[in-house]
Amino acid sequence: MAAAVSLGGAAAASAQQSAVPRSLTADSATRAAIASRYPRDRSDTLPAFPLRRLAPGVYAVSGDTGRGVEGRPNAGFVVTPAGVVVIDALASPGEGRVLLRTIRTVTREPVRYLILTHHHPDHTFGAIVFKRAGARVIAHPDRRTLANAEGDDRLASDWTGVMGLQQMRGFAYADTPDIRVRRDTALIVGGRRIEIVRPGPAHTAGDLMVWLPADRVLFAGDVLVEDGVSMMVDGSSGAMLTALARIDSLAPRVAVPGHGRLATKPATLVAATRCYVLALRDTMRRAVAAGVRMGQAIDRLPPADRDRPVSLHSRLRRNAVRVYSEMEHALFDAAASQSAIAGEARRRAACPR
Ligand SMILES: [Zn+2]
């Protein structure tokens, strides 16, 4: 794949054609996603990323906007008198270095903690930069995702093929937490209260969000993305609904999604995401109940962009596959429990009265 990426013009196009598989299995989708989502923008040479001050000492570091979940994610940081808390590390040591330079435009305080919202490489592969700068990594211990299903070495080499060696210079895995967080946890740094919220396994098994109650700012990770089509292939739609309800209960003033423009009316983005998830669950539940096969149900959706598995249409399809199987299991469980109940009733009928 690295060779295909480095080819030019028509040769690259045809090499990529043959490299991209016809069907989006978990594994092929992951590799194709890696191959297509990142333009080689040499962002490691930038002096700093765009910065938005959300509250005193609270900053969002803006990634790409208008591209859904393709491109550079958002990150953030909180400055306290006792040091800096960083939220997400971006996609490579190169991006991590620029993120650190961005932080240095605001403060010289040491970076104490790096909180990871989940274990996807576009949010964690810059983590080593902060670890080497002395930060302790706070994350959920469950690192399992489709992207690393074939192992960390495979993922790192695939990702290097896309980001380029320059961006990945100095890479080492650093997303295994020094401080493991499995449930809601408050971090008090320099007198500032930073709440780490466990929303459940919505986007991935290891999801966390960061909530600043005094400022009502939420860093939502990929539970929220700018177009309301959050990925659930590493999580579940049921947990996504629970996570969205959790965000509503927090009632944030501003939410930083994992990707794309900041939500200054978070309730609107949450509602749009919820409506998407509910509609998909309803459609797939009906399909399963009517005996429509998964392939047929998926064929009713707009075609996926074959070489862009996290494009909007590809996300719709991949989520649909996930939700179809969730609904199939749910129906199965219900049927199983109903037949179990019926079986017990039959056995009970034989008992003495
Ligand atoms: Zn993600």
pLDDT tens digits for 238-285? 999 999 999 999 999 999 999 999 999 999 999 999 999 999 999 999
Pairing of strands 179-180, 217-225: unpaired
- Distance of CA 221 from the midpoint of ligand 1 (Å): 7
Residue 41 pLDDT > 80: no
Q: Encode pLDDT of 281-317 as tens digits.
A: 999 999 999 999 999 999 999 998 877 878 999 999 9
- Distance of CA 19 from the midpoint of ligand 1 (Å): 23
- Distance of CA 107 from the midpoint of ligand 1 (Å): 28
Pairing of strands 217-225, 254-259: parallel
Residue 26 pLDDT > 90: no
258 phi, psi to nearest 5 deg: -65, -35
- Domains of the chain (ranges; CATH) run 33-265 (3.60.15.10)
Instruction: Report the DSSP beta bridge partners of residue 212.
Output: 217
- Distance of CA 345 from the midpoint of ligand 1 (Å): 47
- Distance of CA 196 from the midpoint of ligand 1 (Å): 17
The chain-wide mean pLDDT, for the chain, equals: 87
- Distance of CA 244 from the midpoint of ligand 1 (Å): 16
| pLDDT for residue 339 | 80
Give the pLDDT band (50/70/90) at residue 338.
confident
- Distance of CA 212 from the midpoint of ligand 1 (Å): 21
- Distance of CA 1 from the midpoint of ligand 1 (Å): 22
- Distance of CA 167 from the midpoint of ligand 1 (Å): 20
| pLDDT for residue 4 | 30
Residue 1 pLDDT > 60: no
- Distance of CA 175 from the midpoint of ligand 1 (Å): 14
Q: What is the DSSP letter of 87?
A: E
- Distance of CA 308 from the midpoint of ligand 1 (Å): 15
The arithmetic mean of pLDDT across residues 18-37, rounded, is 47
- Distance of CA 222 from the midpoint of ligand 1 (Å): 5
- Distance of CA 120 from the midpoint of ligand 1 (Å): 5
Give the pLDDT band (50/70/90) at residue 333.
confident
* Nearest-angstrom CA–CA distance, 255 and 267: 9
- Distance of CA 224 from the midpoint of ligand 1 (Å): 10
Q: What is the largest CA-CA distance in the chain?
A: 83
pTM for the model stands at 0.85
The arithmetic mean of pLDDT across residues 337-347, rounded, is 78
- Distance of CA 29 from the midpoint of ligand 1 (Å): 14
* Nearest-angstrom CA–CA distance, 135 and 140: 16
- Distance of CA 32 from the midpoint of ligand 1 (Å): 15
Residue 54 pLDDT > 50: yes
Q: Encode pLDDT of 119-148 as tens digits.
A: 999 999 999 999 999 999 999 999 999 888
| pLDDT for residue 45 | 76
Give the pLDDT band (50/70/90) at residue 17.
very low
- Distance of CA 291 from the midpoint of ligand 1 (Å): 32
* Nearest-angstrom CA–CA distance, 244 and 230: 11
- Distance of CA 323 from the midpoint of ligand 1 (Å): 17
- Distance of CA 258 from the midpoint of ligand 1 (Å): 7
- The per-residue DSSP string of 15-50 comes to HHHHHS-SS--HHHHHHHHHHHH-----GGG-S---
98 phi, psi to nearest 5 deg: -65, -40
- Distance of CA 119 from the midpoint of ligand 1 (Å): 7
CA distances from 92 to 64, 106, 122, 156 (A): 15, 22, 7, 10
Residue 14 pLDDT > 50: no
- Distance of CA 337 from the midpoint of ligand 1 (Å): 35
| pLDDT for residue 2 | 31
Residue 15 pLDDT > 50: no
- The per-residue DSSP string of 182-212 comes to -S-EEEEETTEEEEEE---SSSSTT--EEEE
Residue 39 pLDDT > 90: no
